[in-house]
Amino acid sequence: MKKSSGSYEPPPLERRENSLVILNEVKNLKIFRFAQDDEYILRHSYQFSDIILYSQKFPSDFYFFSLNTMKIELHHIKVKDLVDQYQDDAENGVVGYHGKLDIRPPYQREFVYKGQQRNAVIETLRKGFPLNVMYWVVREDGTFEVLDGQQRTISICQYINGNFSIMIDGNPKGFGNLTQDQKEQILNYELMVYFCEGNESEKLERFKTVNIAWEKLTAQELRNAVYPWPWLADAKRHFSKIGCVESKSGDGYITWSAERQELLEKTLKRISEKEGISIEEYMGQHQHDNNADELWQYYMKIINRIQMIFPKKRKEMKGLDWWTLYNQYGENSYNAQNLEQEIETLMLDDEVTNKKGIYEYLLSWNPRYLSLREFTDKQKAEAYEQCGGICVICGEYFEREEMHADHKVPWSKGGKTELENCQMLCRKCNLEKSDKY
C-alpha cells in the first residue's frame, strides 16, 4: 500500500472477508467502504484536513472523511421516502424527503446531468446495483440539505415524477408505464446517505472535496460553494435559471449555459475587471448583501446599450464579448442609423472575412477586427515577378521572402485584394507605410 508523503502517518488499513474496507481510529471515527476486491490508496489532504481513500482500479471511485469535528452517520433511505413531497419550482426551490430535504442549496450547481448519465442512475436502481453514497447536511432545525448527490437525487425524483423515460426492452418507458413489481423495486431501493453535522466552513470544505471525482465543477460553481449567502441566491435567481428575465433579454446577443453558471461568471468577471479586482474579491465584498441588484443593473445596462446602438439583431452578434466592449466603449457616443448603414455595407463586402468583427470595428474603428482578405500566394508571386524584386518605395532589390504584398489603394479607400492593386514592398518600407496610415 502507498502512503501519503510528509510527516503525517496515515492510520492502518484493514481488509475483511466481506470486502469491506475499514479505516480505524482517527479521532475515534470508523469509516466503512465496500472495496469490491480493489486496492486502495490512502492519502491525506492538508488543505482540507481530509483523509481520502482512492481506488486504483477505478480512479473515479474514492471515499474520504474529515479530521475536523464534522460528525458523520450512515443511514439507509428508501427511494419512496426520498421522493415524498418532491417539488421543483422557482418559488419554493427543489425539495424532497417529506418536504424536509433542500435538494439545491445555494452552493449547489444547477442540474447538469446529460440524458445518458441520468438514465444510468435509473438503470442502477432497476437492477439493484449499488449507487454511490450521498451526503446530507443536518440543519439545526432538523431539516436537511444535499451536500453531495444532487444530480442523482434529481434524476431519481424526475423519473418517478414522470419527467422522462428510459429504454426498457427496446421501448421507452416512464415510471407510470412500469409494472407494479418494477415500481416497487425502485421505490424500495435503499440509498446509502451519510448525515453530516458540522459548522459552515466544514460543510463547504467537504462539498469542494467530494466533488473532485464527479462531474467536474466549473470555477464559478466552486466559487458559489464558498459564498453561499443571500447575495448569491439572488444572483442565481437572475443569472442561473433557464427562462429568467436576463436570459430572455439577452437572446440574440449572449451565448451561455444557465446550468453551468456561465452568464453569472461572465458578468462577474467583467464587473470585477471594471473595478480592478478579482471575481473572488467582488463576491467576498458583496456576499452578505441582501440582493445582487448592482450586478443585475450592470448587466442590463450592457443589454440596453446594445439594443440602443445596434437595434437590428443579426446572427453575427451572438456570442460576442459584449461585457468587455461595454467596459471599453460604453461611454462613447454613436449614431445608430449611421452604424446600421455601415453594417449593411460591410456585410456585403467580400474583403471582410470576419463578419462578427464588424461590431468591434465600428466601436473602435480598428480594421484588424475585420480580418480583411489577404493576397494569395499566386498573386504575391506574380506581383514579385512584375516588379523584378525591386521595392517600389526605396528602389532596393530583395528576395521574395523578404518582401510584403501591399495594397496600392488601401481597403479604407475602396481598394480591392486583386493583382492589379498589389505592390511589393520590403519589410521596412511596408511597416513605415503602415505607421503613416
Which pLDDT tens digit goes with each residue over 57-111? 444 444 444 444 456 778 899 999 999 999 887 556 789 999 999 987 754 555 5
Is residue 342 a part of any domain in this protein?
no
Residue whose C-alpha is closest to residue 429's, from 393, 395, 388: 393
List the grid coordinates of 339.
452604424
Is residue 98 a part of any domain in this protein?
yes
pLDDT at 310 over 60: yes
pLDDT at 394 over 70: yes
Is residue 346 a part of any domain in this protein?
no
Q: Verify that 109 and 155 share a domain, yes or no.
A: yes
Is residue 5 a part of any domain in this protein?
no
| Greater pLDDT, 2 or 181 | 181
End residue of a domain, out of 67, 86, 105: 67
CB 169 within 8 A of CB 110: no
Which one-letter amino acid corresponds to residue 29? L
- pLDDT at position 53, please? 45
Residue whose C-alpha is closest to residue 64's, from 31, 86, 38: 31
Please give the Cα distance from 271 to 257 (Å, whole number): 19
CB 436 within 8 A of CB 417: no
Alpha helix ranges (H) inside 227-367: 230-239, 245-249, 262-275, 279-286, 293-309, 322-329, 336-347, 358-364
244: confidence class by pLDDT, cuts 50, 70, 90: low
Q: 271 Cβ partners below 8 Å, 6+ apart?
A: 282, 294, 295, 298, 323
Is residue 367 a part of any domain in this protein?
no
| Greater pLDDT, 8 or 433 | 433
Residue that the C-alpha cell 424536509 belongs to: 100
Q: Evaluate the CA torsion angle 123, 128, 133, 134 in order and state its sign.
A: positive
Taking residues 297-313, what's their average pLDDT? 93
End residue of a domain, out of 182, 217, 252: 217
Q: Verify that 274 and 235 share a domain, yes or no.
A: yes
Q: Verify that 83 and 209 share a domain, yes or no.
A: yes
Is residue 317 a part of any domain in this protein?
no
Can you give the length of the chain in residues? 437
Q: 315 Cβ partners below 8 Å, 6+ apart?
A: none
CA distances from 176 to 24, 180, 182, 380, 425 (A): 45, 9, 10, 70, 76
Phi, psi of 51 (to 5 degrees): -100, 130
**CATH number, domain at 382?**
1.10.30.50
161: confidence class by pLDDT, cuts 50, 70, 90: very high
Q: Verify that 397 and 277 share a domain, yes or no.
A: no
Provide the number of structural domains found in the chain: 4
Q: Verify that 266 and 284 share a domain, yes or no.
A: yes
End residue of a domain, out of 289, 309, 329: 309
Rg (CA), the chain: 30
Q: Verify that 81 and 164 share a domain, yes or no.
A: yes
pLDDT at 264 over 80: yes
CB 221 within 8 A of CB 109: yes
β-strands 101-102, 144-148: how paired?
A: parallel
Please give the Cα distance from 35 to 68 (Å, whole number): 24
Residue whose C-alpha is closest to residue 119's, from 163, 183, 81: 163
213: confidence class by pLDDT, cuts 50, 70, 90: very low
Under DSSP, the state recorded for 329 is H
Please give the Cα distance from 291 to 54 (Å, whole number): 41
Which one-letter amino acid corresponds to residue 206? R
pTM of the model: 0.52
Q: Verify that 165 and 36 share a domain, yes or no.
A: no
pLDDT at 20 over 70: no
- pLDDT at position 186, please? 95
Q: Which domain holds residue 234?
A: 228-309
First to last CA, the chain: 70
203: confidence class by pLDDT, cuts 50, 70, 90: low
Q: Verify that 283 and 414 share a domain, yes or no.
A: no
Which one-letter amino acid corresponds to residue 269? K
Q: Verify that 128 and 198 share a domain, yes or no.
A: yes
DSSP per-residue letters across 184-239: HHHHTPEEEEEEEE--HHHHHHHHHHHTSSSSPPPHHHHHHHH--SHHHHHHHHHH
Is residue 341 a part of any domain in this protein?
no
Please give the Cα distance from 23 to 311 (Å, whole number): 64
Is residue 324 a part of any domain in this protein?
no
List the grid coordinates of 283.
463576491
The number of beta carbons lying within 10 Å of the beta carbon of residue 115 is: 9
Q: Partners of 56 in the beta sheet?
A: none
Q: Verify that 94 and 198 share a domain, yes or no.
A: yes
Q: Verify that 211 and 233 share a domain, yes or no.
A: no
Residue that the C-alpha cell 446600421 belongs to: 340
- pLDDT at position 74, please? 82
Compute the mean pLDDT over every residue in the chain, rounded to the nearest whole number: 78
Q: Verify that 269 and 206 share a domain, yes or no.
A: no
